[in-house]
Amino acid sequence: MQKIIRQIAAELKVGEHQVQAATDLLDGGATVPFIARYRKEATGGLDDAQLRELEVRLTYLRELEERRAVVLKAIDEQGKLTDALRVA
């Protein structure tokens, strides 16, 4: 999860603590408009556009990680997962 937080922070050019705070709020059920309007202090002032982009990237990167895990498991079950392939 930290890898995803770091990547989003780099892409949006904001602090990791800002991304973590916004992620926690989104995971808690808060909506982007709510966070943008009422939780600016928690996110370090992220605006609506940044929060929307963060939400899109967070969803995409989480789904990508899930897919990666499924593919690795399938390759491992076939007995073809080498250490080199796992790293790659």
pLDDT digits (tens, 9 = 90+) for 3-39: 999 999 999 999 999 999 999 999 999 999 999 999 9
Query: Is 46 in a helix, a strand, or coil?
Result: coil
User: What pLDDT does 80 receive?
Assistant: 86
The two tokens of residue 42 are: 């928690």
C-beta separation of 33 from 48 below 8 A = yes
pLDDT tens track for 57-77: 999 999 999 999 999 999 999
Cα(84)–Cα(29) distance, rounded to whole angstroms?
39
For the chain, what are the domain ranges? 2-62
Check whether domain 2-62 has CATH 3.40.120.10, yes or no: no
Nearest to 19 by CA among 41, 37, 44: 44
pTM of the model: 0.85
Task: Tell whether the model's pLDDT for residue 44 goes beyond 80.
Answer: yes
